Amino acid sequence: MVKIKVNNENVSYDASANSLVSKYTYKNSVVSLESDGNYVVNQTSKDYQFQVDLQVPKVGLLLVGLGGNNGSTLVSAIEANKQHISFNNKEGEVKPNYYGSVTQSSTIKIGVDAAGNDVYVPFNSILPFVNPNDLIVSGWDINGADLSKAAARSKVLDYDLQTKLATTLSAYKPLKSIYYPDFIAANQSDRADNIFNLTESGEIDQSSKWAHVEQIRKDIQDFKAAKKLDKVIVLWTANTERYSALIPGVNDTAESIIESIKAGHAELSPSTIFAVASILEGVPFINGSPQNTFVPGVVQLAEKHNSFIGGDDFKSGQTKLKSVLAQFLVDAGIKPLSISSYNHLGNNDGFNLSSNEQFKSKEISKASVVDDIIASNEILYPKSGETKNHVDHCIVIKYVPAVGDSKVAMDEYYSELMLGGHNRISISNVCEDSLLATPLIIDLVVMTEFLSRVSYNDLEVCDSSDKKTLYPILSFLSYWLKAPLTRQGFQTINGLNKQRLGLENFLKILVGLPVSDELRFEERF
């Protein structure tokens, strides 16, 4: 493992606490628009002290949707890497790896050498992160098939790897989950053979939701105790649900959502039940699907209990590319007029999304990804006047069983150039969906665990002994999520480069490295 020693007077190592302490002055520019149309910029600065616990704990991951394509692929990837299982496909031998994972397979620039050449190190060498091979994985699923059967059903992995992992995967059996039929497509009912919310007569119980919360909490407690874990993280990778209606007095406050659960209110979704159980249990909850799991009452509950949450919806293929390409066009002074996105896929996610209510959830998360990019350029998109000030954004998803997990995405970006000219960019992107999404799960879990080991002090208002954890919404996770949550009153950032830069710079200041810039004075002066 690469080790980095930073010679910086603002960084110190506390051997007794096995922690790293760093000081950083955060500088920003606060801008106001005067009545004469001119901008006034005021510089601000604030001193912080950060502390990082360098001890990597034993971490357990509970997946909601363990038996789905993503869940079975994740466990297969971990076991293949941990056991060093190579396999053969039509191109020859394949060695296990974590390609597609930022934390495991990307690098960060830490400076230049004496000759001015950039120096890069592995992302996970900057600070101690949990190794995915060490994750202890379990979870819930409405279908009871063990993961050997689930992997065969999903048809994501090559047959040779499935065969070599069959015995290992057969030992993974999902815990019973909750099933509220109104929230996912009716075509999923045949899969629901592993649920605990059944009455003695075999009917589905959707009213005893507080009992469901308590059962999920018990499952978390039992898992942590049985595996002797230091920390547990819960991540939703199950079916996309329909959007929940936002109802005053039902799901708008921390108090109301608890009372509504106890009353068995029909508008509380399974993902919200899992989120509330996780928050009350004090474990992080990440939502990898597009539904509005984090209704205002859940966010407020997380704030009240200082429990970490992150979401929504994995940002893997088409949407990740969109956040890059739209940023490129707008930054280049080119004006996108329309973005038309078409998808077809044949896995169970596509089957569930063939239902209109579930598709609407996905449409919302995909559509919002360019909002802040458009808002950044009032030359192209003025807020008033006759000029078109928005992008026509069309999204279509179709279920085509024959293509299986190989999702086909086709996009057209139609833009306006100078003097009435136009530019059309058409992209066809075929991606093996679960092999793109699974590395995101690894990154979300690795970063969530790491961020839980970071504390800080605002040195202007308290002394260095008054430590605080990060705000419960982990917005540093936004790189991996289509519709990232942010603190109320703050703008959501969707531009991929901005998200990555913010994450990199945070890691750098924790170890005393200067934040990223490309001024390159060495070669210019």
Q: Catalytic residue, from 315, 335, 482, 508: name it.
A: 482
Domain residue limits, the chain: 318-433
Q: How confident is the model at residue 464 (pLDDT cuts 50, 70, 90)?
A: low
Q: Catalytic residue, from 209, 407, 411, 508: name it.
A: 407
pLDDT value of residue 347: 78
pLDDT at 269 over 60: yes
Q: Give the mean model confidence (pLDDT) for residues 43-52.
A: 95
Q: How confident is the model at residue 330 (pLDDT cuts 50, 70, 90)?
A: very high
At 336-380, the pLDDT tens digits run 999 998 988 877 777 776 667 766 666 666 667 888 888 899 999
H or E segment at 334? Answer: none
Residue length of the chain: 525
Q: Give the mean model confidence (pLDDT) for residues 376-387.
A: 83
At 112-156, the pLDDT tens digits run 998 889 999 999 999 999 999 999 999 999 999 999 999 999 999
- Dihedrals phi, psi of 217, to nearest 5 degrees: -60, -40
Distance of CA 316 to the CA centre of its chain: 10
**Known catalytic residue: 313?**
yes
pLDDT value of residue 361: 61
Q: Catalytic residue, from 141, 313, 411, 433: name it.
A: 313
pLDDT at 250 over 90: yes
pLDDT at 319 over 90: no
Tell me which residue has tokens 């490309």.
Answer: 518
pLDDT at 463 over 80: no
- The C-alpha torsion from 93 through 98 and 102 to 106, rounded to 10°, is -50
pLDDT at 108 over 90: yes
Distance CA 440, CA 105 (A): 12
Distance CA 440, CA 431 (A): 14
Classify domain 318-433 by CATH number. 3.30.360.10
Distance CA 163, CA 300 (A): 46
Cβ atoms 425, 410 nearer than 8 A: no
**Parallel, antiparallel, or unpaired for β 285-287 and 309-310?**
parallel
Cβ atoms 285, 234 nearer than 8 A: yes
Q: How confident is the model at residue 61 (pLDDT cuts 50, 70, 90)?
A: very high
Burial pattern 243-255, b for ≥16 Cβ within 10 A else e, equals bbeeeeebbbbbe
pLDDT value of residue 30: 94
List beta partners, residue 137. Answer: 61
pLDDT value of residue 126: 94
pLDDT value of residue 312: 87
Residue with the bigger pLDDT between 370 and 306: it is 306
Tell me which residue has tokens 């959502």.
Answer: 257
Distance CA 188, CA 380 (A): 45
pLDDT at 482 over 80: yes
Q: How confident is the model at residue 4 (pLDDT cuts 50, 70, 90)?
A: confident
Distance CA 320, CA 73 (A): 21
pLDDT at 173 over 80: yes
pLDDT at 465 over 70: no
DSSP letter, residue 491? P
- Dihedrals phi, psi of 425, to nearest 5 degrees: -110, 120
Distance CA 188, CA 238 (A): 11
pLDDT value of residue 331: 94
Distance CA 293, CA 364 (A): 13
Kindly state the percentage of the chain with pLDDT values over 70: 95
Distance CA 88, CA 90 (A): 7
Q: Catalytic residue, from 362, 366, 405, 433: name it.
A: 362
Kindly state the percentage of the chain with pLDDT values over 90: 69
Distance CA 123, CA 119 (A): 12
Distance CA 516, CA 503 (A): 11
- Dihedrals phi, psi of 272, to nearest 5 degrees: -65, -40
pLDDT value of residue 437: 92
At 274-292, the pLDDT tens digits run 999 999 999 999 999 989 9
